[in-house]
């Protein structure tokens, strides 16, 4: 029976363990949207068991080690970004479908794909698109294109191998060899394996990575405050 400081493993947790991670820590768990949602519920006083934690994983004693001010500051920034990631996912899920497709194109352009041309990317956003939701032209003539598919799923509804297989078929039909598949949820292990072994270059972006990239490239977010952390200038006090 689960009890305080212990968790019960779920199907999602067993899937994670198939990759034989060396350690299950916060850094690993933060890659999964379910854990980010769990932390949000915890902050709101609605704690339930973690959806992906392993059996009998106990929480470390927070008093076992005293953190330095720098470590506390960095951890605080990480906590703020984790909370922001969760908020971003919720906003994306509540927005209209066409917003998600435009968001992905905007993000890829913000990351530098398509160069500096304003018309380098576009969302298709219509039925009969052949499984393609967006296009990024890497050159002015469109000879080198990146095709995008965006699936706005609930965070507990994974993208499976058949959907990645169908996307590869869409790339083939478009005579393309580069594709980006983005979802607000996560990919199953078979889906990841299929993308890795396929001759087409397919990049999979799950909900956790999506929000990380949005924060990193200032898409949908803005700087609310700036803190200046000052330290001793060793050169000033040098005797040389």
- Is pLDDT above 70 for 173? yes
Does residue 181 share a domain with residue 112?
yes
Give the total number of structural domains in the chain.
2
d(CA 236, CA 208): 43
Domain identity same for 212 and 109: yes
Q: Assess whether 155 and 83 both reside in one domain.
A: no
Residue 31 lies in a domain: yes
Asked whether residue 1 is assigned to any structural domain, the reply reads no
Q: Of the ranges 6-10, 75-79, 111-115, which one carries the lowest mean pLDDT score?
A: 6-10
pLDDT of residue 73: 82
Residue 5 pLDDT more than 70? no
Full domain range(s) for residue 183: 97-216
> For the chain, what is the mean pLDDT?
80
Same domain? For 41 and 134 the reply is no
The answer, yes or no, to whether residue 6 has pLDDT greater than 90, is no
DSSP string, 157-180: S-B-HHHHHHHHHHHHHTT--EEE
Q: At what angle do helices 97-110 and 207-216 cross, to 10 degrees?
A: 50
Q: Return the closest-CA partner of residue 113 out of 192, 223, 206, 201.
A: 201
CA 63 to chain centre: 31
Please compute the mean of the pLDDT values over residues 122-138 and round it to a whole number.
72
**Residue-wise pLDDT tens digits, 34-56:** 777 766 665 555 544 444 444 44
Position 4 in a domain: no
Angle at 208 between CA 134 and CA 132, to 5 degrees: 15
Identify whether 201 is part of a domain: yes
Residues 44 and 135 in one domain: no
Look at residue 182 in the predicted model and tell me its pLDDT: 95
Instruction: Specify whether the CB–CB gap between 48 and 41 falls below 8 A.
Output: yes
Q: Does 84 map to a domain?
A: yes
Same domain, 104 and 119: yes
In this structure, what CATH number is given to the domain that contains residue 101?
3.40.1350.10
């Amino acid at each position: 029976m689960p009890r305080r400081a212990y968790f019960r493993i779920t199907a999602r947790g067993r899937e994670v363990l198939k990759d034989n991670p060396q350690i299950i820590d916060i850094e690993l768990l933060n890659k999964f949207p379910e854990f980010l949602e769990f932390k949000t519920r915890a902050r709101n006083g609605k704690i339930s068991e973690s959806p992906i934690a392993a059996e009998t994983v106990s929480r470390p004693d927070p008093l076992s080690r005293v953190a330095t001010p720098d470590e506390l500051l960095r951890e605080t920034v990480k906590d703020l970004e984790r909370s922001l990631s969760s908020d971003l996912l919720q906003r994306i899920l509540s927005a209209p479908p066409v917003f998600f497709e435009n968001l992905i194109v905007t993000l890829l352009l913000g990351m530098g794909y398509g160069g500096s041309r304003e018309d380098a990317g576009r969302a298709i956003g219509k039925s009969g698109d052949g499984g393609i939701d967006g296009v990024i032209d890497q050159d002015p003539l469109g000879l080198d294109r990146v095709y995008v598919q965006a699936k706005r799923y609930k965070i507990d509804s994974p993208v499976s191998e058949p959907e990645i297989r169908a996307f590869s078929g869409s790339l083939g039909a478009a005579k393309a060899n580069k594709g980006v598949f983005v979802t607000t949820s996560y990919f199953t292990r078979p889906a990841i394996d299929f993308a890795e072994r396929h001759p087409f270059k397919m990049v999979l972006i799950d909900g956790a990575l999506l929000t990380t990239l949005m924060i990193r490239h200032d898409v949908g977010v803005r700087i609310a405050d700036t803190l200046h952390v000052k330290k001793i200038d060793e050169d000033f006090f040098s005797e040389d």
